[in-house]
Amino acid sequence: MENQKSSTENKGLFLKRTLNAPIDLVWEAWTQPEHIANWWGPNGFTNTISKMDMRTGGEWNLVMHGPDGTDYDNKCVFREVVQNKKIVYEHINWPKFLATVEFDAQGEQTQMTWKMEFESEEEFIQVVKKHGAEEGQKQNVVKLDAYLQNMKH
Amino acid sequence: MKARRDVYQAIADPTRRAIINMIANEPHNVNSIAEKFDMTRQAISLHIKILTDCGLIAIQQRGRDRYCEAHLEQLSEVAVWVEQYKQHFERKLDSLENYLEKLKKERHGKPKK
């Protein structure tokens, strides 16, 4: 019940992860376009980063290319960048949210938290609902794909 | 059973969320709910009706009072979607972890145990 409460009362997401790599490497993976392109975006996606100006007010434009050929535009503006500590960015096209990523060096490991805050709970619910619908649709595409593959063999 | 309203609609309104929060721990009667809000009793009754229609609250008659009791099982539908959305970002972190391992291997030969 508590979990439900926190997920429906908040207007965003909170993630926390201890990464098995020192802060310098984590920072590099987060801040250099050639690295971020390698891990951002769901499985099967590729990414094109046309701009990543990591300073306050700097723009970050990233397009995720879905396996079905759909492009997903992500336009962000950096609000705060503190080396090895913190990245705050605002996702300025839909869905609008403010993300705060914080890093805490712990020897050979790095703890990171990732908070995403939407404009309102209403907005968050809309996003979650739309994502759920899209996710359902994607699963259908995957199923169809698998089915067609089977037919070929 | 009544035609089910969309649970998202039900909780998309701040007053309705406040009502749910109010009665989540213990049932309240309709009057005491209405007193807490700076709006007409009719407006509160309508919110309560919407919440009742979608099954988030149930009304119990106790003597002359009507009590609202929370039935929050419906909210798990929303929680499922939230969880699914969260997984989307968790997968990004999985992918970051894998990538960091790869970088470590490239730079230091073997990964540290």
Angle, alpha carbons A49-B90-A67 (nearest 5°): 50
Residues B14 and B64 occupy one common structural domain:
yes
Say if residue A137's pLDDT is above 80: no
Asked whether residue B2 is assigned to any structural domain, the reply reads no
Q: Give ipTM to 2 decimals.
A: 0.80
Which phi and psi (to 5°) does residue A91 adopt?
-85, 110
B95 touches chain A (CB under 8 A): yes
CB of B79 within 8 Å of any CB in chain A? Answer: yes
Nearest CA in chain A to B88: A42
Could you give the CA distance from residue B92 to residue A39 in angstroms, rounded to a whole number?
7
| pLDDT single digits (tens) A16-63 | 999 999 999 999 999 999 999 999 977 788 899 999 999 999 999 999
Residues of A with CB below 8 A from B25's CB?
Answer: none
Taking the CB of residue A111, how many other CB atoms lie within 10 A of it? 15
Name the domain count of chain B.
Answer: 2
- A115 and A126 fall within a common domain: no
Evaluate if residue A10 carries a pLDDT over 80: no
Assigned token pair, A60: 């970050």
Give the distance from residue A133's alpha carbon to the nearest chain B alpha carbon, in angstroms: 9
Same domain, A31 and A45: yes
User: Within this chain, do residues B102 and B90 fall inside the same structural domain, yes or no?
Assistant: yes
Note whether residue A6 is domain-resident: no
Instruction: Report yes or no: B36 at the A interface, CB cutoff 8 Å.
Output: no
Write down the pTM of the prediction. Answer: 0.70
Give the per-residue pLDDT at B72. 83
Based on the fold, state whether residues B62 and B80 are members of the same structural domain: no
Shortest CA distance from B73: residue in chain A: A1
Residue A57: the pLDDT is 97
Highest mean pLDDT among A39-53, A107-121, B79-93 belongs to A107-121
In terms of domains, do B47 and B88 share one? no
Q: Which of A54-63, B8-17, B51-60 has the lowest mean pLDDT?
A: B8-17
Please list, residue by residue across A37-60, b when 16 or more beta carbons sit within 10 angstroms of its beta carbon and e when fewer do. Answer: bbbbbbeeeebebeebebeeeeeb
> Nearest CA to A29 among B91, B108, B98?
B98
Residues B40 and B59 in one domain: yes
Enclosing domain of residue B88: 74-108
Do residue B33 and residue B53 come from a single domain?
A: yes
My answer on whether A65 and A113 are in the same domain is yes
How high is the mean pLDDT of chain B? 86
Residues A143 and A101 reside in one and the same domain: no
How far apart (Å, rounded) are the C-alpha atoms in residues A15 and B96? 13
Assess whether A98 and A46 both reside in one domain: yes
Please indicate whether, in this complex, the C-beta atoms of A13 and B86 are within 8 angstroms of each other. Answer: yes
- Check whether residue A128 and residue A97 sit in a common domain: no
**In the predicted structure, residue A150 carries a pLDDT above the cut 90:** no
- Residues whose CB is less than 8 angstroms from the CB of residue B73 and which lie 6 or more positions away in sequence, other chains included: none
Contact A132 B84 (CB under 8 A): yes
- pLDDT above 90 (res B95): yes
Say what the pLDDT of residue A142 is.
65
Asked whether residue A83 is domain-assigned, the answer is: yes
Whether B66 and B21 map to the same domain: the answer is yes
Q: Quote the domain boundaries for residue A133.
A: 120-153
Question: Do the domain assignments include residue B52?
Answer: yes
Say if residue A33 is preceded by a cis peptide, omega within 30 of 0. no
